[in-house]
Amino acid sequence: MLAVPVRNGERNTMKGLIKPLLILAVLAGALYALNPTKDDFVTYYQNKVESASAGKASGAVGAVVSGVARLAGGASASLFSRDDRLFFSVYNLGPASNPSDQYLGVAKFFIKTK
């Protein structure tokens, strides 16, 4: 068998690459595993609509308003389309070319982008 000599500097370069590549692989795996589903977005949107309406009324009226808002939030969230990008998702309300609302979903968190 022919032995190929390896210079000491080349060996150190390889060792220096292993740790960052391992961290990158773990991070990519976590983002993939935590990529939010459409059900996650529906739950988020229902809670958002419900909490926005909860401050407007209190007591029995508040409970009714909150219930109606939860139903409306669930209905409107089903109108969103999901564009799955493996490590994150983009949710659009309306046509993808010109959505009225757009959210970015990363690691089970949602950020309104439009």
Q: What is the pLDDT of residues 11-43, one digit of tens each?
A: 667 778 899 999 999 999 999 999 999 999 989
Name which residue leads in pLDDT, 72 or 49: 49
Measured CA to CA, the distance from residue 41 to residue 82 in angstroms comes to: 9
Would 88 be classed as within a structural domain?
Answer: yes
Shared domain for 66 and 83, answered yes or no, is: no
Is position 15 within any domain?
yes
> 73 and 86 share a domain?
no
Label the pairing between strands 80-84 and 109-112.
unpaired
Structural domain of 70:
49-78
Are residues 94 and 64 part of one domain? no
Contact by Cβ (8 Å): 52, 68: no
Other beta carbons within 10 Å of 46: 19
Looking at the 3D structure of the chain, how many domains does it have? 2
Confirm whether pTM is higher than 0.85: no
User: Does 108 fall in a domain?
Assistant: yes
Report pLDDT digits (tens) over 76-100.
666 889 999 999 999 998 877 788 8
